[in-house]
Copies of this chain bind each other. A is one copy, B any other.
Amino acid sequence: MTQANIGIWLIGAKGGVATTTILGLAALGKGLVDEVGLVSALPQFAHLDLPDWNDFVVAGHEIRQTRLADEAAQLAANSRAVEPKLVEKCRKELDAIDRRVRPGTIYKVGTTIGRLAGPDIPRRESPREAIRRVQEDMARFVDSRRLQHLIVVNVASTEPPMDPASIPSSWAELKPLLDRPRKCPLPASSLYAMAAMEQGYSYINFTPSLGSFPTAIDELARLRKTRHMGCDGKTGETLMKSILAPMFAQRNLQVMSWVGHNIFGNMDGKVLDDPLNKQTKVASKDHLLRKILGYRPQTHVSIEYIESLGDWKTAWDHIHFAGFLGTPMTLQFIWQGCDSLLAAPLVLDLIRFTELARRRGQTGQLKFLASFFKSPYGVEEQGFVDQFQMLQQWANATG
């Protein structure tokens, strides 16, 4: 086993997705579990020189005061999502990472997220101060571990929506705003993105928050010769939409209405219970239908926090479509998936593919990762299968 030399920096490092990502990485590294659920472990990617599970070392930012082992134990007890024994066997690794997690920033994250923050989280930093502090945390980790590279992944709670039109379109215009708190419209997810990419680290936005979406931040990535991608991991109901909508299109069946109700009870659900934060998420879940179908069926997406479900995201979708001679027909599906466990392997996949993209010298938006996201940056294609072919083509291209 070689020395781990690639860093993973998780924003929201003790949330559900981070906890299962960390637990899974530890379990994979120790050979306790197989690679089910990992796209990067598919035979079609076996020829790639992807980093090994033991090549990674994890740290990150968090705003709540909790311990990874407690979070994992709760997933095991409340949601029966992971086996208690597995948590026990990885407890040492979890505790070690706890010590590497630093206080995050709550700049413009909205009141619902803000309320979760512990007393150690600064309340009055300017954006630039927050970025500087965050950068120091990251750099110290890179130095102390002698890491070749750091990949920053945003798995924090969804921020309220903001108007991208209010953001200057060039880095030259945006940068000075960071020193002027009243003028700077960017939320924490974007501060982390800039913090990472100013230093040449890679950045992945696994949430629907703004992150590295603005053109000016993409420009920063290219200026620093680094890379980024987002946004919003495509794990369940939206994955199904991006699979089923092309079927209706290709069979010329006319979708009249598509209703999707999502219920779940984890921390993410609690934050999304705030109508503002929910708005960001619903927009991300809803847009792809009209892109795939080429017209606008009536759609409705709801997300409700139902505490007893814990991490078990249950989605009921009702699709009402017209067939031949205008006859109305119905497809319904019920998805019962464990939210964090659907997300975690994709986070690990994204990290592995991003590291390989770095070695291949790719910068800017990593569009070949579109199949992992609900709203892939810079990609028009919304059908899952076509997006997956982009990944395969990239894999088959000579490094």
Least CB distance from A63 to B in Å reads 25
A193 interface residue per 8 A CB criterion: no
> Do B325 and A23 touch (CB < 8 A)?
yes
A385 interface residue per 8 A CB criterion: yes
A85 interface residue per 8 A CB criterion: yes
A316 interface residue per 8 A CB criterion: yes
> Do B320 and A308 touch (CB < 8 A)?
yes
Assembled-state Cα–Cα distance A96/B256 (Å): 35
With A323-B341, A342-B323 known as contacts, the answer to whether A84 contacts B86 (CB < 8 A) is: no
Which residue of A37, A306, A325 has the most chain B CB atoms within 10 A of its CB atom? A325
0/1 interface trace, chain A 214-243, chain B, CB 8 Å (1 if under): 000000000000000000000000011001
> Do A252 and B342 touch (CB < 8 A)?
no
Residues of B within 8 A of A37 (CB): 251-253, 322-325
From DSSP, what is the main secondary structure of chain A's interface residues? mixed
Assembled-state Cα–Cα distance A335/B42 (Å): 30
A332 interface residue per 8 A CB criterion: yes
With A77-B83, A243-B243, A259-B304 known as contacts, the answer to whether A336 contacts B331 (CB < 8 A) is: yes
A333 interface residue per 8 A CB criterion: yes
The 23 listed contacts between A and B (C-beta, < 8 Å) are A33-B326, A34-B326, A36-B252, A36-B322, A36-B323, A37-B252, A37-B253, A80-B80, A83-B325, A84-B84, A240-B331, A243-B243, A243-B247, A250-B385, A257-B306, A298-B306, A300-B304, A316-B332, A323-B337, A327-B341, A330-B334, A331-B337, A332-B336
Residues of chain A touching chain B, judged by Cβ–Cβ distance below 8 Å, are 20, 23-24, 27, 33-39, 41-42, 77, 80-86, 239-240, 243-244, 246-247, 250-254, 256-257, 259, 261, 263, 298, 300, 302, 304, 306-309, 314, 316, 318, 320, 322-338, 341-342, 344-345, 371, 383-386, 388
